[in-house]
Amino acid sequence: MPRQLVITNRGLAIDRSAPDARRTPLHRLAIDGDFWPSDLVAFWDFSETSAPFYAKKYTGTTAYPLENFGTTNVTKIPYGPFGSSIIFNGTSRYLKLSSADIGDLNVAQFGDQVTVVAWYEPFAYLAAGLIAGVWEETSGAGKRQYALFHDLPLYGGNDRVCGHVSYDGGVTPGYPYNKDYSASARPLQTGTMKFIGMVYDGTSARSYTDGITDVKASNNTNPYPYNLGLNRVTSPADFTIGAVKAGSSFGNFINGALGGVAVFRRALTESEMMDIHIATKGPDNPIIKFDFFNHASTTDVAATIGWKSALGATASDTSSTTATNFGVANISGNHFLYKTNTSPTSQCIGYFSSISGLTANQISEIKFRLNNSKQADKVRLLVQIGDAWYATHDTFSVTGDGRSAADWSNAELKSFPFTLEGSKWRDVNFSLGTSLGIDSSIRANNIPDGELKSIGFHMESVTETVRIDNLSIY
């Protein structure tokens, strides 16, 4: 029987007890679309009924057939950016292309750059899951080269997209394991397929989600400095999807759906990563969605998911404290950005400043949900285009008092049809640690069409608690 969509307090969930789950439709994209950048080694869409799965676009003389090598075979569902996805169960399924047959997937023969992208939906959180790469954990084998992982908890990559690289195939000197990977600031949430990736350019590794590489400043950072290059061992590891070889067995299984995988033998630019994402995200899905997912903690500082905050006329940096400014919360399964009334009379902003590869003319609408405690609390959308900051002239608020963090049943969806029209915006004077102020009047001229660099919220004051969820850019 078909799987059913189940209504929960968090929206649509999937009943996974039946075989052919339906999701929010993704775009069934033509394989030969012109969004593919140069130096693509191989792209798999997993459209075959069963393994072997052949690359639909590839270099060399072989189509890189991926075979089942787990104790059970991957299964399929009719959902994904290219029409279908393969399912991994977290315990016994993986695909492999033997070392002797990996050809150009041994990208180190071309230099010290690589890009791996995937369309991935995690079903559960497991420690260390390999999505795709030339990587082997066997002690002394020296066969690590590059890999895209999900959820590497030892050095700060828990629940996050991780881009692993190695120059000699071994462990990192002074550590029991290899710790050389970038970790995205934003964790992945179950129930949603995301375009993710890792890019290594010879000097640093970067992890991507929704086509952007969000800055992570602590533990394993994003980007992660690494100028040693890639491992040129004569006999590289197998290319695997879904698990890693360690000794005579396999581990680090993923539990989720893969809608496609591609490998490039160079570092794609930020604009190229965004172009692939936009081409494959589906017409009804946002370009970027901030779900403020915070799996581990009840409350935490905004910096843990790549957000920043500033307070008062001197724009004091409060990104690493919730005492006076924005934080993220996980209360009764509700994940959101919040600001309390600790500093009620001080204007403040919360913002995400890692957007790249997206211009203002590509945006049609911005949506978010509000669940403020008080109707009196009002917020403005905040954007940085080029080097200048702007806030919406109109404010957004809820229509009643008494909302709670545990109950989002009365949360209100807010929408801003994006426009460059000056009458919809006010100028913002913002320099972190120096100044923060918003003009009292609307702009006389249109705001410029340039690169969108940041998005966030501005508030004049807070009487109780402001709560924001699902900030989405369309």
Residues 65-116: tens digit of each pLDDT: 999 999 999 999 999 999 999 999 999 999 999 999 999 999 999 999 999 9
Instruction: Give one DSSP letter per residue of 236-268, joined into a string.
Output: -PPEEES-EEETTEEE---EEEEEEEEEESS--
CA dist., res. 333 & res. 331, Å (int): 5
- Tell me whether strands 157-165 and 249-251 are parallel, antiparallel or unpaired: unpaired
pLDDT at 23: 42
pLDDT at 34: 72
pLDDT at 10 over 50: no
pLDDT at 321: 83
User: 114: closest CA among 227, 211, 200, 241?
Assistant: 200
Q: Among 25-34, 124-133, 280-289, 340-349, which stretch is predicted with the lowest mean pLDDT?
A: 25-34
Residues 337-379: tens digit of each pLDDT: 999 998 888 899 999 999 999 999 999 999 999 999 999 999 9
pLDDT at 9 over 90: no
pLDDT at 61: 81
CA dist., res. 18 & res. 363, Å (int): 37
CA dist., res. 121 & res. 150, Å (int): 10
pLDDT at 372: 97
pLDDT at 296: 66
pLDDT at 194: 95
How large is the average pLDDT for residues 18-46?
67
What Å distances lie between residue 186 and 115, 158, 305, CA to CA? 19, 10, 5
pLDDT > 70 in the chain, percent: 93
Residues in the chain: 474
pLDDT at 31: 64
3-state SS, residue 71: coil
Residues 242-276: tens digit of each pLDDT: 999 998 899 999 999 999 999 999 999 999 999 99
**pLDDT band for position 27 (50/70/90)?**
very low
- Tell me whether strands 380-385 and 365-370 are parallel, antiparallel or unpaired: unpaired
Encode burial over 51-64: b for 16+ CB neighbours within 10 A, e otherwise: bebbbbebbeeeeb
How large is the average pLDDT for residues 290-299?
84
pLDDT at 12: 27
pLDDT at 247: 86
Q: What is the mean pLDDT of the chain?
A: 90
Residues 419-468: tens digit of each pLDDT: 999 999 999 999 999 999 999 999 999 999 999 999 999 999 999 999 99
**pLDDT band for position 29 (50/70/90)?**
low
pLDDT at 226: 97
Q: Among 31-45, 143-157, 240-254, which stretch is predicted with the lowest mean pLDDT?
A: 31-45
3-state helix, strand, coil in the chain (%, to 5): 5, 40, 55
More confident residue, 455 or 154: 455
pLDDT at 334 over 80: yes
Residues 404-420: tens digit of each pLDDT: 999 999 999 999 999 99
What Å distances lie between residue 264 and 42, 153, 182, 201, 391, CA to CA? 7, 27, 18, 12, 39
Residue 410, Cβ neighbours under 10 Å: how many?
Answer: 12
pLDDT at 21 over 60: no
**pLDDT band for position 30 (50/70/90)?**
low
pLDDT at 32 over 50: yes
**pLDDT band for position 162 (50/70/90)?**
very high
The answer to whether 186 and 214 are in contact (CB under 8 A) is yes
**pLDDT band for position 18 (50/70/90)?**
very low
